[in-house]
Every structure is written in C-alpha cells, then in structure tokens.
Structure 1
Amino acid sequence: MTAGLNERALIRKIALRTLPLILLSYFVALVDRSNISFAAATMNADLGFSETIYGIGASAFFVGYSLLEVPSNLLLARFGARVWLARIMLTWGVISILTAFVHSPMQFYAMRFALGVAEAGFYPGVILYLSSWFPGEHRAWAISRFYIALPLSFVVMGSLAAPLLAMDGHWGLQGWQWLLIMEGLPSLVLALVLVLALPDRPETARWLSDAERAWLKGALAREAAVMGEVSHNLLRALTNPYVLLLGMANACNFIAINAIMFSAPRLLAHDTGLDVAGVGRIVSVGGVAIALGLLLVGSVAGQTVGRTLMAYVGLVVLAAVGLMLLWLGGTSESSIAGFLVFIAAAQVAGMLPLAMVSRLIPAADRAGGLAMANTISQGGAFFGPILWGVLADRTGSYHMGVALLIPAMAGSASFALLVRQRNLAKA
C-alpha cells in the first residue's frame, strides 16, 4: 500500500465515478429485455399468440445474445467500454421500440432475436470493464452494487406496468405498445450520456492522482502475477474448465430464472387472482428482496473464491425451496412466498459465476472467457421459456413447468461443487 493512500477511500472514489452509469445502463437493458412479460398480458390476446409462440419469442432473444457474446466482448476490449457500451444501448433502444409494432409470430421472433444481437456482450463486457478498475478482493462488492439494477428493474416494471397498459387506445396504440415504446426511449438518451461521461480505463482518468493510479496498477499486476504471466490465447480462454463449469452452473440457474420471469405476471395472476396492479406490487416486492440479498451477499461472499462458491450453492438450494413452495403450496400466500424466495435467491446467485470467472482465469483471457461463460449461461436462458410455454399449452397449467425446474437448480449446485473441488485440488 502506498504511504498515505487510503485503499477504501480510493475504491469508493472509483465506484462513484463508474458504477452509477453502469447501473443505470444495465437497469435499462433489463427493462427492455423483460418488459414483454407484462406486455404479454394483453399482447398475446391482441396478436393471437399462444404460450408456445410467446415462449419461443422470449427465448429468441438469447439466441442472438449468445451468438454474438464472444465477438462483442472482444470488440469492447478493442474499442473501449465507453464507445462499445453506448453502441449497444443505442441499437437495443431502437429495436425495443420497434418491437411495439410487430403483427405476426415471425416478426416477434425477429425483433427478439435482433434485441439479443444488439445487447450481446453487455454483461460480460461490464465485468471485464470492472476488472480493470477493481482488484479481485473488491470485485464481487463492485459487481453486487451495479447488479442492484436488477431489483430496481423489478420495482420499476412492477410499478409502471398498470399505468402504461392503461394508455390503451391513445393515438391508436394498444397499452402493450405504449409500454414497449416508453420503456425503450431512455436507452437512446443514455447512449449519449455514456459517450460523454463514462471513463474508459484508469490510465486516462484525470480524477485519479498519480499515487492512486500507481496503487491500482500495482494491485492489478499482483493479481495477474498470482495467475501467472500469459499471453492472450482465445482458444484457451474459451475452453478453460472454470469457464465451462461456472457457465454450466449458471445455465441451469437461468433455465429456472427465465422460465419464471417471462411468465411471472400470468403465473401470479393465475395463482392469486390479482389484477395487473396487484401482480406488479408482488414483482416490486421481489425486487426489494433481491436488493437486500445483493447487499448481504456482496459484502460477505466476495473476499475468497471458496466463500463465493459456497454462497452460490446455498443460494441455489434456497431457490429450489422457493420453487417447491410455488409448486406444492396451493394457496395465494404460498405462491407469493415461493415466488419471492425463488426470485431473490436465484437472481442473487446469478451475479456470482462471472465474478468467480474473473478471478480464476488469467487477465489476458478475460475478454473471451467471460463472454464464453455468459454464452453458456444464456443457453439455459434460451431453453427455459420455450419449455415453459410448451408445457403450459399442453397441460393448461404452469405447475408442471415449476416442478421440472427443481432438478435444474440441483444441477446448478452440482456444477458449482465441481468447481470448488477443482479449486481445492489446485490449491
């Protein structure tokens, strides 16, 4: 530690300069990605979409997202976070708005696929960006702070859904069209803000003193030295066992997350009898629960990889308990409790795998490795809504889908335990 330099104060200073813009951008991305869950309440009826058609459309996002993850993250490493993240925001904002004007299943699939292509690389790109600002022991804390965008998106979507859907008929547009348009506009503004205000890297940040810049460079260099000095090798990054195992752990988690999230408003309305406003309040409470979980886990789990792994396992087990409540409960209260327990535990767990990847692979491999781990994760995100939609159409109920998600959480915990075993053997 450089004499006279306060490490905690420096980390807070970096956080204040970088995290608010990243948080706001991720918040807008999550809203634009998931707001069709509320739009579907009337969109499916207006357009004649079955649960299967809706599930395929929801999943089409993750096809485009997965295909472009790795190249997008490599381009971010080349052009810098400021320019590339702004490009992502601009294109996904335009596509999100255009989705309001689809009329057929194929148009819906195409817009969802295009939205995935536009957003590809955003999340692993942010982890890569934060890896150049926050040393390993502070990284999970930083990620948990920008990940607050996730529960914030729940609160906002839950609060705005009813009034935006109530705009039905204004200027000849349906309520679900207003919801998609109004929630897509902020990303266009934020694209410009990112270009003007987001600092690219510590070397160009004028608000860092020479001593602060030197300490940060030294801390990151020491972390890289522990991993061993290696040159960039894309194939090695894409096939790293930690990348593959942690990607599979999160893929199993995301099968369940996306199956539930893209149908949550209809699932909760079916189980509780509540209207859109009532369901929105439950989703908003879910956001608060996620936020509390993030603050707790981000503070206690990130100091070591081993502790982070065990936190992950505990969270996915708790998420499985929530699914069991949702499946077996049979009352409004048990359905609400099951949803809240599941969504808080599973979403907080979803933050951790890429944070661990960033600490378990060499810095030279992070651009490709982080993108690959997230690509595998999004494979699970793709299958969840489709499986859910097909089962709902064939059985006339959501509950068979809930039951089949419980083994996915067991698989997630198993992959994480394999990572722990490998990490202990390596140590």
Structure 2
Amino acid sequence: MAGELTSRVAPDEATVNSALGKVTKHLIPFLLLMYVIAFVDRTNLGWAQQEWEANYGISTAAYTFGATLFFVGYAVFEVPSNLIMHKVGARWWMTRIMITWGIVAACFMFVQGPKTFYALRFLLGVAEAGFFPGVMLYLTYWYPAARRAWATGLFYMGLPIANMFGNPLSGSLLELDGVLGMDGIHWMFLVEGALAVVVGIICPWVLVDRPSKASWLTEEEQRDLTQQIELEEAAKQKAKPISWGRALADPRILYFCLIYFCIQASVYGLTFFLPKQVTSMTGTTAGFKASLVTAIPWVVALIGVLIVPKVADRRQNHRLLSGLMLAFSGMGIMGSALFLHQLVPALALLSIAAIGFTCAQPIFWQLPTRYLSGAALAGATGLINAVGNLGGWAAPLLRTWATQSAFGTADSPNEAAGLVVLGMAGVVGVLLVTGLNFFKKSVEEREALSLQSGESLDK
C-alpha cells in the first residue's frame, strides 16, 4: 500500500473536507445515540439504589461492590473484543455488542438480592466490552488526526446528553410504579434495555466499515479520504512499527492507562452517587424533579465539549488542554465538598468538574492514536480503556472507604471526605499528563506527528 501511495497525487483538501462533512452527518449521530444508551444502561442503577436497599437487602456496601463489578467484566474482555472488531469490522461487531448488552440490561428488572445484582453487573460489563475502544478505533478509520479530537468530542457529547436526558427518562419511568403490576425500577430497566436492542438491530444498516465502502460518498471522496488516512497510517508505521502484543507492554501505553484511570475515577465517582447527593441536598425523593437538578452539570459540560476539543485541534495542544481539563475536574469535585448543604454553589462547582472530565476524554484519546495504527492501535485502545475503566471500579470503593471507614462511619458518613478523595484523582491526572514530557520521541515519530498536525484540515 505504501508503494501505491507514493505514486498517487496528494489528496485534495476540499474533497477530503466534503467527505468529512458527510461522514459526520451519517455516522456521528448514530454513534452518539449508541453512547447515550450505553451510558444510561451502565449508570441507571443509581436511581434504583434506594429501593433495592429498602426492599431487596442490597446495602450501600453491596451496591458499591456490585456497581464496580461491571468494570471487572469490561476490563477482562476489552482487548480481545477490540482485536475482533479490527478483524471483522465495526458494522456487525457493534451490532452484537448492542443487542447482548441490551438484553442483559433489561434483565436487571429481575434483581432480587445481592447475588443476582452481582451476576448481572459482571455480565453487563462482558456484553458491553469493546464498545467504547471500538468507537475510538473506528474514528481513526474515518478522520485524519487534525480533525479527530473534534470528531471524538462530538461523540463524547453522549456523556452529558446521557445524563441530561437519561436521568429524566429514568426518573419518569420510576413514576410508572404499579402500572401493570410492575415496580418503577422494573419499567426503567426494561425500557432502557430494550432501547439498546432496537438500536442494535438497526446498526448494520447505518454503520459502514471503511470510507471505500460508503455509498453516500462520491468516488473522489472515497479515494481522497482513504488516501489521507492511509498516508497518516503509513507515517505511523514508519515512525513506530509495533505489533499489538508489543503495544500492550509499551511503557507509554501503560502510562496512558494510568491517566485514563484517573479520568474515569472522576467520571464514575460522581455519576454513581450524584442522584443520591442531589436528593440529599434538595430534600426530595428520587424521581423526575430530582433528575432535572442532576441534569444541570451535564448541560454545562455539553457546551464545553462542543468547544474545547475543537480548540485543541486548532492549536494542536492536546496535552496541555487535557491537563487543564483534569485540573478543572479535580478542583471542582474537591471544592463541592465545602458546600454539601448549599445547592447552588455545589452545583456550580460540580458543573466545572463535569466540564473538566468530559472534555479531558476526547482530547486525551488523541495522544495514543497519533502514533499507533492497525492491530497495535486496536490492542492499545482496548487496554487503555480496560485499565482506565477500572477507575470506575475503584472510585465508588474509595468514596465508600473515605466516607464510612477512614473519616466517618456507616451511621454517620463523611460525604465531604469522599468528594475530596475523588477530586484527588483529577490532581494526580494532571501530574501524570505533565510527566508525558519525559517520554522522548524518535526522529521518525516527530516527523509523523509533524505531518499529521501540519496537514490540518481546519485551516
């Protein structure tokens, strides 16, 4: 392929831009919908926590442990799932992922105690494994590096949108309590799981594996976009040819895992407990009104993720901005600990935190994807997401430890301590991002990165 590329005329920028406009129109909305459903299905248990504790004997400790089991199953199967997707294509593999996770998510309506809860949380992680790193890999098939943070940011809109609309949806479904003899939480799990199955069935008719197979692109757009992507892939192969097995042991990849761990600890440490935190501050019960309040930080985060990743692409300062966003995350979460019983300042600080960890993620993913390709990129993104998402396993445990063991008791939890511990994840993340300066790039790698940033399509 490299030999063919050298004999071709360079891709036309206007044609590539035209193709990318169509790619964004055809693929991003559907990928965004998939992410919204995925996030709702993995976090809606926050709305069931109080009823499970009252009626099914699932204590706070049991809830915390069960919530974290998702990430165990997720981590174990991430890398093999991503390698399979790289081999068979996103179209059918994403279909499999969505349908299986939707079925498992709906089965949460049958939870009767801790054991069934634990089993289903683990199975949900297994079913969904590969979805997120699969999308990160999929975007490298369609977007050149100079536009990828922006495209990834559009996909990451799913995080605030899921919390803006997913929380009110869950709150509304809870109010169906008693309809057809079913509890409100049963309706919530059934409907939200069924949504994933329906979207999974539609998936093969929407997703396309590569630009060369997209019927909605002209022949010129297929050719020039494919060539633009292949030029960058060839540059990365020249700079750092590496197998997927070696990528999994690469020190820099392992370092990226630590950074992503800190990001995910911030995300899930807040998400799993925000409904309970808001109901405590407002004195309301879990339902539609409380869900509207929890949506506020995510509305602010949505605005941020529309702006910050595009700025990162324009200025090509992904490392600096990812560190800055992590600082927002850490300071916002820790600052909210000072206003546990004051709704307005607490929500303002949590909104800053939401901007931070929401925007940090699409910018962060540009760091590993800029110098890996092919199976190595598939394996590396799977590993980074797998290890990083263990932050979602650790965060609830750390929060419970801080609130009930280290600085409080089960009868008198210290919620402020829990928030401070979670905020520290953002601070550690900033230090780790700064530490990336100690990794030296080879001459070839610098040339590859220069090629990618120099061919900016935003100009």
Q: Compute the TM-score of the two structures, normalised by the length of structure 1.
A: 0.94
**Counterparts of residues 103-182 of structure 1 (less than 5 Å):** 103-182=112-191
Distance (Å, rounded) in 1 between the aligned partners of 2:269 and 2:362: 18
Distance (Å, rounded) in 1 between the aligned partners of 2:321 and 2:403: 33
Structure 1 residue 171, shift from structure 2 partner: 2.4
Residues 297, 348 of structure 2: 8 Å contact kept: no
Larger displacement relative to structure 2 (259-268 or 342-351): 342-351
Structure 1 residue 213, shift from structure 2 partner: 2.0
**Counterparts of residues 251-400 of structure 1 (less than 5 Å):** 251-276=261-286, 277-303=288-314, 307-330=317-340, 331-394=342-405, 395=408, 396-397=412-413, 398-400=415-417
Given candidates 30, 34, 42, the residue that maps to 2:39 is 30
The one-letter code matched in structure 2 to 1:415 is L
3-state SS of paired residue (1:360): coil
Distance (Å, rounded) in 2 between the aligned partners of 1:375 and 1:304: 30
3-state SS of paired residue (2:177): coil
Structure 1 residue 23, shift from structure 2 partner: 1.1
The one-letter code matched in structure 2 to 1:383 is A
Distance (Å, rounded) in 2 between the aligned partners of 1:423 and 1:402: 36
Distance (Å, rounded) in 2 between the aligned partners of 1:368 and 1:20: 26
Q: Compute the TM-score of the two structures, normalised by the length of structure 2.
A: 0.88
Distance (Å, rounded) in 2 between the aligned partners of 1:420 and 1:363: 25
Structure 1 residue 41, shift from structure 2 partner: 3.2
Distance (Å, rounded) in 1 between the aligned partners of 2:232 and 2:202: 32
Distance (Å, rounded) in 2 between the aligned partners of 1:362 and 1:127: 12
Structure 1 residue 25, shift from structure 2 partner: 1.0
The one-letter code matched in structure 2 to 1:15 is T
Structure 1 residue 361, shift from structure 2 partner: 2.2
Distance (Å, rounded) in 1 between the aligned partners of 2:109 and 2:350: 28
Structure 1 residue 301, shift from structure 2 partner: 0.7
Distance (Å, rounded) in 2 between the aligned partners of 1:247 and 1:46: 39
Residues 300, 351 of structure 2: 8 Å contact kept: yes
The aligned counterpart of 1:414 is 431
Structure 1 residue 231, shift from structure 2 partner: 5.8
Residues 334, 424 of structure 2: 8 Å contact kept: no
Residues 297, 347 of structure 2: 8 Å contact kept: no
Structure 1 residue 375, shift from structure 2 partner: 1.2
The aligned counterpart of 2:451 is none
The one-letter code matched in structure 1 to 2:140 is S
Unaligned runs of 5+ in 1: none
The one-letter code matched in structure 2 to 1:283 is T
Sequence identity of aligned pairs in percent? 29
Q: Give per-residue Cα distances to partners, 1:159-181, cap 9 Å, x unaligned.
A: 22332111112222221121111
**Alignment partner of 1:68 is 2:77:** yes
Distance (Å, rounded) in 1 between the aligned partners of 2:427 and 2:442: 23
3-state SS of paired residue (2:295): helix
The aligned counterpart of 1:239 is 249
Distance (Å, rounded) in 1 between the aligned partners of 2:252 and 2:20: 27
What RMSD in Å do the two structures reach over aligned CA positions?
2.0
Structure 1 residue 37, shift from structure 2 partner: 1.1
The aligned counterpart of 2:4 is none
3-state SS of paired residue (1:302): helix
The one-letter code matched in structure 2 to 1:43 is W
Residues 135, 219 of structure 1: 8 Å contact kept: yes
Count of matched residue pairs: 426
Residues 95, 115 of structure 1: 8 Å contact kept: yes
Residues 245/213 of structure 1: CA separation in 2 closer, same or farther (3 Å cut): same
Residues 39, 179 of structure 1: 8 Å contact kept: no
Structure 1 residue 7, shift from structure 2 partner: 3.1
Unaligned runs of 5+ in 2: 1-9, 447-459
Distance (Å, rounded) in 1 between the aligned partners of 2:49 and 2:12: 58
Structure 1 residue 304, shift from structure 2 partner: 6.3
**Counterparts of residues 16-95 of structure 1 (less than 5 Å):** 16-95=25-104
Structure 1 residue 207, shift from structure 2 partner: 2.3
Distance (Å, rounded) in 2 between the aligned partners of 1:57 and 1:3: 52
The one-letter code matched in structure 2 to 1:410 is V
Distance (Å, rounded) in 2 between the aligned partners of 1:3 and 1:360: 23
Structure 1 residue 82, shift from structure 2 partner: 0.6
Residues 11, 228 of structure 2: 8 Å contact kept: no
Larger displacement relative to structure 2 (195-204 or 65-74): 195-204
Residues 162, 280 of structure 1: 8 Å contact kept: yes
Residues 325, 337 of structure 1: 8 Å contact kept: no
